[in-house]
Amino acid sequence: MSSMLVCDVCGKPLIRPHYRLRLLRAEPEQQANVMKTVGNLDMHDECLNRFKEWLKETRQKEIAK
């Protein structure tokens, strides 16, 4: 059985090349080069743009608080 990559935003199948976003975690007072990868998000280019817009809006809401 073969495995198929799907977009983590829209759920549709991915065809290479695609965008892979690495999620990193840093401990307090830790060097930047020692961060650990805690996950990956695979996305289409248009889904990446939607994700970036959502992230930008969320940051603006957090700053406004």
Domains of the chain, by residue range, sit at 19-64
Question: Quick one: pLDDT at residue 37?
Answer: 84
* Average pLDDT taken over every residue of the chain: 86
Question: What's the mean pLDDT in 12-22?
Answer: 86
Q: In the chain, pLDDT over 70 holds for what percent of residues? A: 97
Q: Which residues of 29-60 are buried (b: 16+ CB within 10 A; e: fewer)?
A: eeeeeeeeeeeeebbbeebbeebeeeeeeeee
For the chain, report the end-to-end CA distance as a whole number of angstroms: 49
Residue 1 has pLDDT above 60, yes or no: no
What span, in angstroms and rounded, lies between the C-alpha atoms of 65 and 45?
31
Q: What is the CA radius of gyration of the chain?
A: 15
**pTM (2 decimals)?**
0.65
Residue 9 has pLDDT above 70, yes or no: yes
Question: Quick one: pLDDT at residue 56?
Answer: 94
